[in-house]
Structure 1
Amino acid sequence: MEAPIFAVCSADPGVAALIGAGIDCRLYSFGEAPEKPVKPYVVWSVINGSPENYLAGRPDSDRFTLQLDVYAATADPVQAVTKALCDAIEPIAYVVRWGATDRDPKTKDCHRSFDVDWIVRR
């Protein structure tokens, strides 16, 4: 099971205007981003997850916590992409944590981190 983060975000017009759409969307699963991606871009990873277990019967949904990290050369695109992602995600999942807003020490890119809780029906 997997949270539909890519399907939801890559189909959203607001997200597409900033980081691309469909297979060209610069929303990468952890470890899948190219070495020097076009900016802005987003990396996501599952940081927690579990099935909704019951005493009787099989689980009917899975719960995921995803961490999203937005990168760009300057702060304005990071903020714009973060807002577009939240606008796409919040109708069906929950933003549950605002994380670091900083600069990557190696690339000097601006960075914003946030977490999303997603319940996926089986």
Structure 2
Amino acid sequence: MFPKVYRTIRTAAVAAIVETRIGRHGEVSQTEQRPYITWQIVSGQPYDNLSSAPAGDFTTVQLDCYHATDAGAEELARAVRAALDAALICNRVVLDNRDPDTKLYRVGMEADFIDQR
């Protein structure tokens, strides 16, 4: 239910682009430098059974990669995808747009974390 998102995606390739600017709950400080990544839990489901408490959870997380340029947002998303792939976490791009308020380019991804309790 509380996947290790930060630990999973903070690889050398991702850190080279965003350093530690990875914000939980879908937000970062408005004074934060760009580019950055935000993430939030979209849904979660325990692995229920009748004989004991659930042994694990299936959690879908949305990760949003923000950058000042379209090419930069794509590069950041590719680095995040590579980190997820290396951890054997299924992921998919769910949106690719430009934020109307900040004018930053955004690539949104969903990733499915399966964790033992």
* TM, length-normalised to structure 1: 0.88
Aligned length: 116
Alpha-carbon distance in structure 1 between the residues aligned to 2:116 and 2:100:
39
What percent identity do the matched residue pairs reach?
28
Question: How far 1:44 sits from its partner (Å)?
Answer: 0.4
Task: Name the residue aligned to 2:15.
Answer: 16
* TM, length-normalised to structure 2: 0.92
Listed as ranges, the gaps of 5+ residues in structure 1 are none
Listed as ranges, the gaps of 5+ residues in structure 2 are none
Question: How far 1:9 sits from its partner (Å)?
Answer: 1.8
Task: Name the residue aligned to 2:5.
Answer: 5
Match of 1:89 among 78, 84, 92: 84
Alpha-carbon distance in structure 2 between the residues aligned to 1:32 and 1:100:
17
Q: Which runs of 4+ in 1 moved over 4 A?
A: none
Match of 1:35 among 7, 10, 30: 30
Question: How far 1:31 sits from its partner (Å)?
Answer: 5.0
Q: What is the alpha-carbon root mean square deviation over aligned residues?
A: 1.3
Alpha-carbon distance in structure 1 between the residues aligned to 2:99 and 2:27:
18
